[in-house]
Amino acid sequence: MDNTVKTTVVVINRSRLERDLIVHTFNASSHFDVIGCANFKDALTSIMEVMAEVVIIPMTDDDFFRSVKNIVSMQPGTIVVASGVELSPDLVVRCAHVGIRGYIEFEASADEWVTTVTAAMNGEVDNPKIAGMLLQYLSQGMPHKPRMSWRVAEDVEQSAKRVGLTPRERQIVGLIDKGLSNKAIANELHVEPSTVKNHVHAILQKYGVRHRGEAAAKFRETA
């Protein structure tokens, strides 16, 4: 019997084909239980009924910002992730203001959808471009700061040695702590994404955690 605690996710997408594909992608993991909805009205009912922990809403929705505000006000603990995001600094910052905690680009792969949601659940932004936009915004000293927070890399060398990480694994977890996705890390280190994935799996095992963000957090806790 599978006793894994699953995260309840509500996905909003008007296209039946796309919606079914997204639901299938998340449900392929033992960590998610996903409900697909065609519109915000149906989604809101599902969110309230199942106490959804994560909601994925497309930016193509005409009432996107108002819908996000409604979700955040009605279910403050729900993590809202935007899909179909355009890489515009003004748009990203506006999303952060209304409570968006994860950003999925138009060209994101199925795996990247899962990675982004997992990162948002850990309080991270896995897209380095978007993280950079938010960091730049905060560095300008704006009076209204986004609700999103992200982790900043620290010196975790001693912590890494204590759990037996290799030099490469220490390097990778440092990049994870900066908010980089597996794909971005692969580009940074000039290796295959599958190689990074294997290293991340080893890191999670050594720390006894399930998520990348948890590993990075343990680095800082014991550093």
Question: pLDDT tens digits for 5-22?
Answer: 788 999 999 899 999 999
Same domain? For 12 and 118 the reply is yes
> Between 182-189 and 193-207, two packed helices, what is the crossing angle to 10 degrees?
120
Residue 150 lies in a domain: no
Q: Which amino acid is at 194?
A: S
94-97's contacts with Cβ under 8 Å and 24+ in sequence apart are: 94/65, 95/59, 95/68, 96/134, 96/137, 96/146, 96/147, 96/148, 97/144, 97/146, 97/147
Domains in the chain, number: 2
Residue 187 lies in a domain: yes
pLDDT over 70 (residue 143): no
Mean pLDDT over 21-42 rounds to 89
Residue 149 lies in a domain: no
Q: Which amino acid is at 43?
A: A
* Residue-wise pLDDT tens digits, 156-193: 445 555 567 777 787 788 788 777 788 888 888 888 88
Same domain? For 202 and 126 the reply is no
Same domain? For 97 and 17 the reply is yes
Residue 82 lies in a domain: yes
Domain range enclosing 13 = 7-139
Residue 151 lies in a domain: no
* Residue-wise pLDDT tens digits, 58-109: 987 668 888 898 888 888 788 999 998 877 888 888 888 888 999 998 888 8
Same domain? For 121 and 181 the reply is no
Residue 14 lies in a domain: yes
pLDDT of residue 34: 92
Same domain? For 114 and 32 the reply is yes
As a whole-number percent, the residues of the chain with pLDDT over 90 amount to 17
pLDDT band at 54 (very low <50, low <70, confident <90, very high): very high
How many angstroms separate the Cα of 110 from the Cα of each of 23, 27, 38, 131, 192?
A: 10, 12, 19, 20, 18
**In sequence order, which residues have a C-beta less than 8 Å from that of residue 99 and are 6 or more positions away?**
68, 69, 71, 72, 80, 147
Which residues is 33 bridged to in the sheet? 8
Residue 33 lies in a domain: yes
Average model confidence (pLDDT) across the chain: 80
Same domain? For 161 and 131 the reply is no
Q: Nearest to residue 213, comparing CAs of 101, 82, 47?
A: 101
